[in-house]
Amino acid sequence: MTADIDVVVTGLGATTPLGGDVASTWEGMLTGRSGVSAMVGGFVEQYDLPVRITARLAVEPTEVLPRVEARRLDRCEQAALVAARQAWADAGHDDDSVDKERLGVIIGTGIGGARTLLEQDDLIEEHGLRKVSPLSVPMLMPNGPAAYVGLDLKARAGVHAPVSACASGAESLAWAWRMIKTGEADVVVAGGTEACITAVTMAGFIQARTMSSRNDDPARASRPFDANRDGFVLGEGAGVLVLERADFARARGAKIYGRLAGVGLSSDGHHITAADPEGLGQSRAISAALRTSGVAASDIAHVNCHATSTPVGDVIEPQAVRRSVGDHVLLTAPKGHHGHLLGASGAVEAITTVLSLRDGVIPPTLNLVDQDPKVDLEVVTGEPRKIDQIAAVNNSFGFGGHNASLVFTTV
pLDDT of residue 329: 98
Q: Where are the domains of the chain?
A: 6-250, 261-407
In tens, the pLDDT along 190-228 reads 999 999 999 999 999 999 999 999 999 999 999 999 999
Nearest to 355 by CA among 61, 24, 18, 17: 24
Strands 158-160 and 361-362: unpaired
Strands 187-194 and 237-245: antiparallel
Nearest to 167 by CA among 351, 36, 349: 349
Give the torsion through C-alpha atoms of 61, 205, 24, 386, to 10 deg. -160
What's the CA gap between 99 and 316, in Å, rounded? 44
- Report phi then psi at 278, rounded to 5: -100, 0
196 is catalytic: no
Strands 103-108 and 158-160: parallel
User: Taking the alpha carbons of 73, 75, 80, 81 in that order, is the dihedral positive or negative?
Assistant: positive
Question: Could you say which of 76, 166, 196, 305 is catalytic?
Answer: 166
Which amino acid is present at 411?
V
CATH architecture classification, 261-407:
3-Layer(aba) Sandwich (3.40)
Q: What is the 3-state secondary structure (H, E, C) of 206-245?
A: HHCCCECCCCCCHHHCCCCCECCCCCECEECEEEEEEEEE
The angle that helices 75-90 and 114-127 make with each other, rounded to 10 degrees, is: 150
Whether 261-407 and 6-250 are alike in CATH topology: the answer is yes
Nearest to 166 by CA among 392, 337, 335, 359: 335
pLDDT of residue 248: 98
Q: Where are the beta strands (DSSP E) in 230-347?
A: 237-245, 258-267, 300-304, 330-332
pLDDT of residue 42: 92
pLDDT of residue 139: 98
In tens, the pLDDT along 23-54 reads 999 999 999 999 999 999 999 999 999 999 99
Nearest to 409 by CA among 294, 288, 326, 254: 294
Contact 91, 354 (CB under 8 A): no
What's the CA gap between 159 and 105, in Å, rounded? 5
Q: How far is CA 225 from CA 36, 230, 372, in A?
A: 18, 10, 6
- Using CB atoms within 10 A of its CB, is residue 312 exposed (0-12), middle (13-18) or buried (19+)? exposed
pLDDT of residue 4: 87
The SS3 assignment for 368 reads coil
What's the CA gap between 160 and 176, in Å, rounded? 9
Domain at 6-250, CATH homologous superfamily: Thiolase/Chalcone synthase (3.40.47.10)
Which residue ranges in the chain fall short of pLDDT 70? 1-3
pLDDT of residue 382: 96
What's the CA gap between 394 and 378, in Å, rounded? 16
pLDDT of residue 53: 98
pLDDT of residue 114: 96
User: Taking the alpha carbons of 87, 166, 182, 246 in that order, is the dihedral positive or negative?
Assistant: positive
What's the CA gap between 190 and 186, in Å, rounded? 13
- CB hemisphere CA count around 155 (13 angstroms): 28
